Copies of this chain bind each other. A is one copy, B any other.
Amino acid sequence: MIDFWFEFGSNYSYLSVMRIEELARSLNVSVRWQPFLLGPIFAALGWETSPFVLQKEKGAYVWKDMARQCKKYGLPWKQPSVFPRHTVLATRVALHGVHEPWMGDFCRAIMLRNFVSDEDVGSDADVRAVLQALSLPADAILAEAQSPANRVRLREQTDKARALGIFGAPTFFADEEMYWGNDRLEDALASLV
């Protein structure tokens, strides 16, 4: 089993969200989805937003890298006009849906909306549109996602990320070994086979 820590606003998480299920299945490894928020992690590092925004040169590079990486993986891509996008509600839905059969489809749909359709994923209407397109009971899922218990779970999830030493996304854990970045997905999976 691989633990997959990802954030819906993270462009490199997009690559892994799109790739992980098929890759893991081909190796007979199960995926434990671990949606979390990078914002509090960055805040703890003293950053008010993504390093891709704070560091001009790295930011300029990242979009070139993303276009090339998507081409390499055969994934669609459009540079988002807003970055990073608000993802709290989508993350609450994902955390609520971790064990649901729609988890992978929901995560990919949010990512495609953010990084291919270039649409916001932050509002109730945004997340509802994604759930409805998947023919899921949006009202019930949004109510559960916004419940006090699930809000607490997300805070605990972020605390757990920090306790694990996570400093970016995506991050994988395979047999308690940390692997950071989409570039390490294959290595992390290979270590389990």
Q: Which residues of A contact B (CB under 8 A)?
A: 45, 55, 57-58, 60-61, 64-65, 68, 72, 165-168, 177-181, 183-184, 187
Contacts and interface: CB of A to CB of B under 8 A. Distances in A.
Contacts of A55: 45, 167
- Copies of the protein in its oligomer: 2
Given A60-B165, A64-B178, A183-B183, 16 more contacts: A45-B55, A57-B165, A57-B166, A57-B167, A61-B165, A61-B167, A61-B178, A61-B180, A64-B177, A65-B179, A65-B180, A65-B184, A68-B177, A68-B187, A72-B187, A181-B183
Contacts of A167: 55, 57-58, 61
Contacts of A165: 57, 60-61
Contacts of A60: 165
A125 B180 CA distance: 38
Nearest to A62: B180
Contacts of A177: 64, 68
A132 B72 CA distance: 44
Nearest to A180: B61
A183 B179 CA distance: 14
A193 B160 CA distance: 45
Contacts of A187: 68, 72
A165 B167 CA distance: 24
